[in-house]
Amino acid sequence: MSDPAQILRDFKPTKEFFIGIDSDGCVFDSMEIKHKECFAPMFIKHFDLQAVSKYAREVWEFVNLYSKTRGANRFPALSRSLNLLRARPQVIARKVAVPDSKALDEWVARETKLGNATLAAEVKSGNRALENIKRWSDAVNAAIEDIVRGVPPFPLVCESLEKLKRHADAMVISQTPADALKREWAEHCVEQNVRIIAGQEMGTKTEHIKFAAVGKYPPTKILMIGDAPGDFKAAKSNGALFFPINPGAEEASWERFFNEGLDRFFAGTFAGDYEAALVKEFDACLPEKPHWQ
């Protein structure tokens, strides 16, 4: 099986700068619809959480939308959700058995490309304990394909992409499956403004930046745009710069990027106080701990 990430290693600069851009919740206002209408209902259905559906939904949304793990890969997010839910007093009081995450955690710990293809291969090779995880993940993908469409990019995203491609090679860096990414980017005519669309099959966001940009551009000329702490971490572990799209204030964030952030990045005045102020504001958007703890 050839390595899907090879395309990133082979990537060659054509411009002076590199900009990686997250997709869900950053370019498209699709996080809410995906998690509330697709992920959470399938979480309740496939793990038999009907008796505590209110708490299951609240936990899922906290983990994936309203906390520091926003935007995480679905498999570690599933583990965190199951474990947080199991510990809730209401769930314990109702004697609802929340499945354990042991087999999932074991697979997550050793698999470097957490995606549907690697999960399918794992189940096919005899790991029966992950069969239900695969059913859930497949059902989520089917629900997303069925329900999520017609969600346009945030205002000023298209204008920003047009503006940045003059001096920067742009790439989508996401933990969404590639099929969904290609569908969404093609639907809204933004696809032609990026060189590569990298999904979960090509590894983590940290690996995407490392393979495609590190050593090919100076660190001060590599920027990640994202709406989740994982995007910030991916940028910083590669020594790159970070521009946050603040959850709940996406329009204002894109306006700031279009009007000043991008110009500062190209002018070399982004790093330092300007970036630090942006990151401080971003960090305050999302809590670490749930309100019920």
- Mean pLDDT for 156-182 is 93
Q: pLDDT category, 180, cuts 50, 70, 90?
A: confident
- Mean pLDDT for 35-56 is 98
288 within some domain: no
Residues 15 and 41 in one domain: no
Whether the predicted model's global pTM rises above the 0.85 cut: yes
Residue 292 reports pLDDT greater than 80: yes
Residues 87 and 67 in one domain: yes
Residues 25 and 35 in one domain: no
pLDDT tens-digit series, residues 110-126: 998 899 999 999 999 99
Residues 23 and 41 in one domain: no
- Mean pLDDT for 139-167 is 94
Residues 79 and 174 in one domain: no
Residues 67 and 22 in one domain: no
Q: Tell me which of 85, 114, 147 is where a domain ends.
A: 147
Q: pLDDT category, 189, cuts 50, 70, 90?
A: low
Domain count, the chain: 2
3-state SS string for the chain: CCCCCHHHHCCCCCCCEEEEECCECCCECCHHHHHHHHHHHHHHHHCCCHHHHHHHHHHHHHHHCCCCCCCCCHHHHHHHHHHHHHCCHHHHHCCCCCCCCHHHHHHHHHCCCCCHHHHHHHHHCCCHHHHHHHHHHHHHHHHHHHHCCCCCECCCHHHHHHHHCCCEEEEEECCCCHHHHHHHHHHCCCHHHCCEEECHHHCCHHHHHHHHCECCECHHHEEEEECCHHHHHHHHCCCCEEEECCCCCHHHHHHHHHHHHHHHHHHCCCCCHHHHHHHHHHHCCCCCCCCCC
CATH of the domain at 164: 3.40.50.1000
Residues 196 and 122 in one domain: no
Residues 131 and 35 in one domain: yes
Residue 1 reports pLDDT greater than 70: no
Q: pLDDT category, 191, cuts 50, 70, 90?
A: confident
**C-alpha of 67 from chain center:** 13
Residue 42 reports pLDDT greater than 80: yes
Task: Mean pLDDT check: name the lowest of 185-194, 198-207, 275-284.
Answer: 185-194
Q: pLDDT category, 221, cuts 50, 70, 90?
A: very high
Question: Average pLDDT, whole number, for the chain?
Answer: 95
293 within some domain: no
Q: Tell me which of 122, 147, 172 is where a domain ends.
A: 147
Question: Which domain does 64 fall in, by range?
Answer: 31-147
